[in-house]
Amino acid sequence: MIVTFGSINADLIYLVDQIPEAGQTILARGSRTEAGGKGANQAIAAARDGANVAMIGAVGKDAMAPIALQNLEREVDISRVVRLEEPTGSAAVMIDADGRNMIAVAAGANLAAKSDGVEDELLRNASFVLLQMENDVVQIENLIRRVAKHSAKSILNLAPARKLDPDLLSLVDIVIVNEDEAEALSSWLGCEPSARSLSDALNTGVLRTMGGKGAEAFLHGKKESVPALPIDAVDTTAAGDCFVGVLASALDRGFPLDAAMRRAAKAAAIACSRPGSQSSIPRSDETDNWA
């Protein structure tokens, strides 16, 4: 079983010809609302790939909460998601004609989510615990330390990049970063941004996604890499979260890291090829059958 402690958002999505510059007002070609949040996206991706997933987080008691929970409540155990007086987390997403995006997130209730919602019994039954950086840092740090005392393995998606103590990061089994996050992490550690250099500096596993250049990982003294798959990108909004969730699902089923990375890359490519946040994340049979 996979436990996800993370953000739960309602996404406000605007389709634009190009991302506006500072001070510029533009007309969008269209808009929509969707469920989002890095934690929720990764939980959905893992569940659709076949994993049993429990989500721990928080939403408000406002009109945004049903939007944020609409997919989770059908596909994931949300019995530990709490309703608080703070507003539900939200994100404003602008997507240009080339599928590139720019996102601003208001954390809202996510910052009030408590990691003690992940009880010890749940940790004892979990194989992997997924975390991201859209919640309160203290809660994330506390959960990393608790997971290290149990048999579950932790996967931390250091997104958005926020500075954590290297000794704490060394307790994580796999740290996942994209190119920008790898650059930030390497600047804090004083090393190169490659997966191997980051792994050596932290003494733990590191996986770096590199967009059109694929992904690389260094874990237990071994390097793995997978190429990017050729696609015409329509919308990259949840592709990174899709990669992380499917990777965790594949590892949960016993895939070796290289095979898990290939499956995650395939699922992320599918997500890039169609519009939407959680709506773009494929189900396992789609990933199985995608050429």
Q: Give the active site residue among 62, 241, 252, 285.
A: 241
CB 180 within 8 A of CB 209: no
User: Measured between alpha carbons, how far is 118 from 122 in angstroms, rounded to an integer?
Assistant: 6
State the sign of the Cα–Cα–Cα–Cα dihedral 7, 9, 11, 12: negative
User: Measured between alpha carbons, how far is 205 from 251 in angstroms, rounded to an integer?
Assistant: 14
Residue 62 annotated among the catalytic residues of the structure: no
CB 244 within 8 A of CB 176: yes
Write the DSSP assignment of the chain as a string of letters: -EEEE---EEEEEEE-SSPPPTT-----SEEEEEEE-HHHHHHHHHHHTT--EEEE-EE-SSTHHHHHHTTHHHHSB-TT-EE-SSPPEEEEEEE-TTS-EEEEEE-GGGGG--GGGS-HHHHHH-SEEEE-SSS-HHHHHHHHHHHHTSS-EEEEE--S-----HHHHTT-SEEEE-HHHHHHHHHHHTS-SSHHHHHHHHTSEEEEE-GGG-EEEEETTEEEEEPPPP---S--TTHHHHHHHHHHHHHHTT--HHHHHHHHHHHHHHHHTS--SGGGPPPHHHHHH--
Known catalytic residues are 241
